[in-house]
Amino acid sequence: MLATGTTLADPAAAQPSPDPAHSRHADDGRHQGPDQDRDQDRDRRDGGDDDGGKDGKAGGRGDGGQQRRDDRHRSVPVRGPVLAAGDAADSKAPTGGGLRTALGDTVQDRALGTLNFAVADAATGEFLFGSQENVPATPASTTKLATAVAALALLPAEHRIATTVVRGAAPGEITLVGGGDPTLTALPADQVRIGGAPVDRDSAPASMAELARRTAAALKAAGGTEVKLSYDTSLYSGPLLHHDHDAMNIAAVTPLMVDEGRIDPRSPDEAPARVFDPAGQAADSFAALLAAEGITVRGKPAQATAAAGATELARVESPTIGRLVERMLTTSDNTLAEAVARQAAIAAKQPASFEGAAKAVTGELAALGVPLDGVLLTDGSGLAKANLIPPVTLVKLLAAAAAPDHPELRPVITGLPVAGFSGTLVNRFSAKSGAGEAAGIVRAKTGTLQGVNTLAGTVVDADGRVLAFALMTRTDADPATARAAVDRIVAKIAACGC
């Protein structure tokens, strides 16, 4: 059970934040207008270089706890059990009073503005400490935690998203059918990058070129080398565009696309320019690849709905849902998040739309026993500022994902960026921010909208206990300064032997 925590002092008594002038980067908020809310998650480039105050001594258990903090070994976590057998018995969770003392005035930093937060024991889900932990706040991209948990609970671990080609209604006609895989790529395998890194066999996306090769082989085997191509996007319903669509942070949400609708599929930009019609682009790409395989495509591909039970000629499949969730969380991929949310909707027999996905996610979270008081979801990515989630719900999600009795949820934890090491945390928790001691031991999902900075994840404290935390701010402060202030709080939790 999650208990109510103690409320901290009024934020009006907040302390000043260190001067961030030297840490601002030219691309802070570059895709935001004065009244726009865009999920930036630019943390890997500009989030961790602000000059913060030094960590002070954390109160609690006295000199013994301080010695443990001084002696502990910091290392980057590797994939494996999140909570080893015996963790709950071998170490003690910190007390609420100990956390209050350890955090001190870090939670009063003026850069935080309004702060809602919660800390829980990841081994048991027990709430430990917080402030306004039950008050709903804008989650930004930490919404993806809810999407991920629901999808992994609803879908089997081996679930993959298929893109298929079927025979059309008339001889010589074929239809490319979108199954909802935005990671389908037209790039050669050696050019594919995820977060700037090459892919391995498990994470490699499905290949449009391979789909063309298989289709061409099937056509030639049947004696055909000329076709009329159509494409089917009927799997999804509802609006094509997110309410906050900007053709950069997210593509049009369609079940058929290639390279997430990027104009330049090799672009390293985290918010690249997107094509106006991703499905049309995918169909054109497929037609060109068929031509390279010796198949003549008559005319321009047209949109059509494949007949029920149409004969399948070829297919390619995405990585497993677990790998997709890891990619979505590590890189904070909005387009992929909306696709994963729709896979959850389909599994829950809801419409594959923004509304249907939100119903599927909240319904599954309720079935898992996650507290939903005050939760309002309107998308799966967190781009919508209308979304509301209390911090206590986020820590409960993380505790469920780390629980030994929910191994199917483990990709939620393994997909979280590692502080100072990967994804959207690669440039967070630096020494200059005053949070460097926590680098490598924090796994967390970032969230950034205009005026909103959130962070939710897990951290190992000085006694070796895994804790779940969620910090949600609404502030007018410079984003880099606000994020550094959030990081310092997490560093204090990590240093707590209390």
Asked whether residue 71 is assigned to any structural domain, the reply reads yes
| Residue 78 confidence (pLDDT) | 38
Name the phi and psi angles at 163, rounded to 5.
-110, 125
> What pairing do the DSSP bridges indicate for beta strands 312-317 and 226-232?
unpaired
195-201 — which CB contacts under 8 Å span 24+ positions? Answer: 195/330, 195/331, 195/422, 195/423, 196/268
3-state secondary structure 460-492: ECCCCCEEEEEEEEECCCCHHHHHHHHHHHHHH
Angstrom distance (rounded) from CA 335 to CA 261: 9
Mean pLDDT of 482-490: 98
Domain of residue 29, residue span? 20-155+327-495
Q: Is residue 443 part of a domain?
A: yes
- Summarised one tens digit per residue, pLDDT across range 255-270 is 999 999 999 999 888 8
Task: Give, in order, the Cα–Cα distances in Å from 177 to each of 69, 167, 319.
Answer: 56, 10, 18
* Residue 29: per-residue pLDDT: 34
451 and 334 in one domain? Answer: yes
In a domain, residue 82? The reply is yes
* Domain end (from 269, 284, 319): 319
Confidence of residue 411 (pLDDT cuts 50, 70, 90): very high
Q: Looking at the structure, do residues 374 and 281 belong to the same domain, yes or no?
A: no
3-state SS assignment for residue 279: helix
Residues 209 and 281 in one domain: yes
Number of domains in the chain: 2
Q: According to the model, what pLDDT value does residue 308 have?
A: 93
**Structural domain ending residue among the three candidates 319, 335, 351:** 319
Q: Looking at the structure, do residues 42 and 63 belong to the same domain, yes or no? A: yes
CA–CA separation, 423 and 71 (whole Å): 28
The verdict on 433 and 417 lying in the same domain is yes
Three-state DSSP state, 160: coil
CB neighbourhood size of 458 (10 A): 25
Evaluate whether residue 1 is within a structural domain: no
The answer, yes or no, to whether residue 20 has pLDDT greater than 70, is no
Residue 66: CATH number of its domain: 3.40.710.10
Token pair listed for 182? 């935005």
At residue 475, does pLDDT exceed 80? yes
Lowest mean pLDDT among 211-220, 263-272, 412-421, 474-483: 263-272
315, 260: one domain: yes
CA neighbor of 429 nearest in space, from 443, 411, 415, 408:
443
In a domain, 141, yes or no: yes
CATH number reported for the structural domain that contains residue 226 in this entry = 3.50.80.20
Catalytic positions, written as ranges: 141, 144, 332
Please report which confidence band the pLDDT of residue 90 belongs to, taking 50, 70 and 90 as the band edges. Answer: low
Same domain? 480 vs 340: yes
Residues 429, 370 share a domain: yes
Rounded Cα–Cα distance for residues 329 and 413 (Å): 9
278 and 368 part of one domain: no
The fraction of the chain above a pLDDT of 90, given in percent, is 78
The alpha carbon of residue 443 and the mean position of all alpha carbons in its chain are separated, in whole angstroms, by 12
User: Do 314 and 357 reside in the same domain of the chain?
Assistant: no
Mean pLDDT, residues 448-460 taken together: 97
Lowest model confidence (mean pLDDT) among 47-61, 366-380, 472-486: 47-61
Average pLDDT, the chain: 86
- How many helices, marked H, and strands, marked E, lie in the chain? 13, 12
333 and 246 co-located in one domain? no
> Of the residues 264, 297, 319, which one is the last residue of a structural domain?
319
412 found inside a domain: yes
If asked whether residues 58 and 78 sit together in one domain, one would say yes
Nearest to 472 by CA among 147, 145, 138: 138
At residue 82, the pLDDT reads: 42
* pLDDT number for residue 49: 34
The predicted model scores a pTM of 0.83
Q: What is the pLDDT of residues 153-210, one digit of tens each?
A: 999 999 999 999 999 989 999 999 999 999 999 999 899 999 888 999 999 999 999 9
**How far apart are the C-alpha atoms of 200 and 211, rounded to whole Å?**
19
Strand 173-177 to strand 226-232: parallel, antiparallel, or no bridges (unpaired)? parallel
The pLDDT score that the predictor gives to residue 75 is 37
Give me the pLDDT at residue 9, please: 34
Q: Is the pLDDT of residue 83 over 60?
A: no
